[in-house]
């Protein structure tokens, strides 16, 4: 199971056809498919040093122009030998050469061995390496060469890394659309790429709506007015956007007025690819996002059958995409991971955007099944199952800190202790 839409074409609903109130909720998979259908990869290519390309999406295939390793080499410090020269553990060999990484050895003479170090090329005539722990050496004294006794019978090919066993010349090592990781940066460097062509960063305008919001540091906790709350959403949303490689313009808090919301959206649309807001997407009289977006563009997705996160909106404001997240912090957090993250990855041209779930046993009971698809905050326990955070309210942000992932629970599905459930780890959803 994975959070991926089907490949079937799904019709979208024009803004003019949206009912004025109580529109039917879109199933999650339908909403995600519609959302991704709108996310055409953004134009533009940027060339970066490989050092600086972590998290960026490739716009080119990386083809190896050499074998890695470039030659047969030793994977151990030890002695290069010819296996047929070994008779028994009393056989004594002369050490006739010393081969370090970056140097070339000479052909191995019969009855001799070469002292060899990790990464050094295997000398002609040798067909195995014996690690130094399996050898007994003697001081050279007045003799021209030291001697070594090999205590275990060598086997052909042991401790030898073959030419091209990691990468063969001509192979596509990394593909267009792959998102670079620390390991893939090293792989690109191993085949000689000092610079990479990647997609440009998604430019995101971020703001919150709500007269109740106060920024931390602006007012001391003891001086908060009745009904005021600190704005937590902007902090985790900006961090999540930056983890995805976006450039973020933090536009602050917009007052709960229609004219102010329209002005903020209009300004944000001019220099950004995506406008992301939190709050103001419910159906209250002070929720101005919906009419503001419709005044400037179109709203094509409104409310989703998930819990938490029903008040989710998608539309277009002039040339910019618009996504409106719920104001409750857990709802905002979860909908970002499930919907905004794959949308941004698609804008970047990434080919892998689905998050695969893991089947694990539930170590809890969940009798109060909802009509909507639920995403429950859980964490793994020492017994290999999942325990549930006691308070699943959409306003309890401590649950997102305590948890290490979500259970993806189908609509109307009760869960009994021991049932197999689908787990979505935060380690995948936030990378």
pTM for the model: 0.86
Give the pLDDT confidence score for residue 17 in this predicted structure: 42
Locate the domains of the chain by residue range: 15-43+202-347, 46-68+171-199, 73-161, 358-429
Contact assessment for residue 31 and residue 316, using Cβ atoms and an 8 Å cutoff? no
Give the pLDDT confidence score for residue 242 in this predicted structure: 97
The class (CATH top level) of 73-161 is mainly beta
Give the pLDDT confidence score for residue 379 in this predicted structure: 98
Contact assessment for residue 126 and residue 106, using Cβ atoms and an 8 Å cutoff? no
* Three-point CA angle 147, 148, 154, nearest 5°: 145
Question: What's the CATH code, domain 358-429?
Answer: 2.40.340.10
What's the pLDDT tens digit per position in 203-234? 999 999 888 889 999 999 999 999 999 999 99
Q: Which helix (H) or strand (E) holds 259?
A: helix 258-268
Give the pLDDT confidence score for residue 407 in this predicted structure: 98
**46-68+171-199 homologous superfamily:** Molybdopterin biosynthesis moea protein, domain 2 (3.90.105.10)
Which tokens in the block code for residue 3? 């959070």
Give the pLDDT confidence score for residue 164 in this predicted structure: 97
Give the pLDDT confidence score for residue 138 in this predicted structure: 80
For residue 113, give the DSSP letter: E
Strand spans (E) along 245-388? 247-254, 274-278, 297-302, 306-307, 313-317, 320-325, 358-361, 373-380, 386-388
User: Is-same-fold flag (15-43+202-347; 358-429)?
Assistant: no
Give the pLDDT confidence score for residue 211 in this predicted structure: 84
**15-43+202-347 homologous superfamily:** MoaB/Mog-like domain (3.40.980.10)
Give the pLDDT confidence score for residue 210 in this predicted structure: 83
Contact assessment for residue 229 and residue 213, using Cβ atoms and an 8 Å cutoff? yes
For strand 274-278 and strand 203-209, is the pairing parallel, antiparallel, or unpaired? parallel
Contact assessment for residue 207 and residue 254, using Cβ atoms and an 8 Å cutoff? yes
Alpha-carbon distance of 308 to 289, in angstroms, equals 19
Give the pLDDT confidence score for residue 256 in this predicted structure: 86
pLDDT tens per residue across all 431 residues of the chain: 566 554 434 444 444 444 444 558 999 999 999 999 999 999 999 999 999 999 999 999 999 999 999 999 999 999 999 999 999 998 999 999 999 999 999 999 999 999 999 999 999 999 999 999 999 988 654 556 789 999 999 999 999 999 999 999 999 999 999 999 999 999 999 999 999 999 999 999 999 988 888 999 999 999 999 999 999 999 999 999 999 999 999 999 998 889 999 999 999 999 999 999 998 776 554 568 889 999 999 998 889 999 999 999 999 999 999 999 999 999 999 999 999 999 999 999 999 999 999 999 999 999 988 999 999 999 999 999 999 999 999 999 999 999 999 999 999 999 999 999 999 999 999 98
Give the pLDDT confidence score for residue 219 in this predicted structure: 92
Which tokens in the block code for residue 190? 């191993």
């Amino acid at each position: 199971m994975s959070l991926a839409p089907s490949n079937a074409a799904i019709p979208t609903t024009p803004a003019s056809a949206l009912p004025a109130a109580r529109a039917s909720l879109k199933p999650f998979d339908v909403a995600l498919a519609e959302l991704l259908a709108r996310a055409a990869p953004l134009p533009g290519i940027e060339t970066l040093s490989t050092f600086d390309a972590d998290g960026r999406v490739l716009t080119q295939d990386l083809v190896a122009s050499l074998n890695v390793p470039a030659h047969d080499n030793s994977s151990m410090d030890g002695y290069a030998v010819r296996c047929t020269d070994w008779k028994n553990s009393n056989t004594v060999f002369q050490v006739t050469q010393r081969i370090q990484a970056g140097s070339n050895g000479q052909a191995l003479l019969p009855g001799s061995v070469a002292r060899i170090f990790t990464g050094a090329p295997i000398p002609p005539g040798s067909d195995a390496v014996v690690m130094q722990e399996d050898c007994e050496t003697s001081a050279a004294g007045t003799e021209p060469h030291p001697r070594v006794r090999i205590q275990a019978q060598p086997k052909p090919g042991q401790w030898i890394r073959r030419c091209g066993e990691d990468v063969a010349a001509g192979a596509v090592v990394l593909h267009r659309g792959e998102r670079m990781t620390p390991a893939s940066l090293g792989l690109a460097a191993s085949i000689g790429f000092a610079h990479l062509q990647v997609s440009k960063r998604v430019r995101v305008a971020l703001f919150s709506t709500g007269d109740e919001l106060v920024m931390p540091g602006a007012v001391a906790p003891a001086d908060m007015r009745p009904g005021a709350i600190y704005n937590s959403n902007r902090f985790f949303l900006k961090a999540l956007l930056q983890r995805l490689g976006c450039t973020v313009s933090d536009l602050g808090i917009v007052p709960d007025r229609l004219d102010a919301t329209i002005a903020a959206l209009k300004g944000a649309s001019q220099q950004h690819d995506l406008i992301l807001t939190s709050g103001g997407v419910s159906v209250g009289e002070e929720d101005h996002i919906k009419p503001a977006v419709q005044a400037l563009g179109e709203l094509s997705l409104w409310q989703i059958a998930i819990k938490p996160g029903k008040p989710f909106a998608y539309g277009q404001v002039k040339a910019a995409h618009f996504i409106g997240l719920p104001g409750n912090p857990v709802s905002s957090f979860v909908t970002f991971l499930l919907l905004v993250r794959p949308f941004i990855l698609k804008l970047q041209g990434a080919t892998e955007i689905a998050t695969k779930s893991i089947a694990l046993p539930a170590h809890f009971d969940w009798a109060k099944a909802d009509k909507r698809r639920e995403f429950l905050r859980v964490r793994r326990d020492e017994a290999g199952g999942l325990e549930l955070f006691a308070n699943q309210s959409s306003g309890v942000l401590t649950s997102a800190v305590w948890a290490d992932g979500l259970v993806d629970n189908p609509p109307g599905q009760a869960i009994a202790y021991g049932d197999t459930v689908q787990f979505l780890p935060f380690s995948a959803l936030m990378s």
